[in-house]
Amino acid sequence: MNKMKQESKQLVTKDMKINDIIDKYPEIVPIFLGYGLHCVGCHFSHHDTIAIGAKVHGLKDKDVEMMIKDVNSIISESLKNQKLK
């Protein structure tokens, strides 16, 4: 049950299109680049999901999981800071 609750809080999942996420949360670009997901400016980012882009760039499943966790953490902090303003 705890795992389901945690997954429902994810703002970003590996099945989302790269460009859609970057448009909504541009602050995550350095995270993607840091993990080696360099298709942030590529025309394929409009069509590829995070999972597909990560696979193309050779990321392992565990790295993708960590990247998604980091991305969600950054977004959550950003949204929290916006609420405080």
C-alpha span between 53 and 47 (Å, rounded): 10
**The model scores a pTM over 0.95:** no
25-70 residue pLDDT tens: 999 999 999 999 987 777 767 788 999 999 998 999 999 999 999 9
What residues are paired with 17 via a beta bridge?
49
Q: Which residues make Cβ contacts (< 8 Å) with residue 83, sequence separation at least 6? A: none
Phi–psi pair at 49, nearest 5 degrees: -80, 170
Q: Taking Cα atoms as reference points, which of 64, 58, 68 lies closest to residue 28?
A: 68
Report domain extents, the chain. 12-84
pLDDT of 7 > 80? The answer is: no
Superfamily covering domain 12-84: SP0561-like (1.10.3910.10)
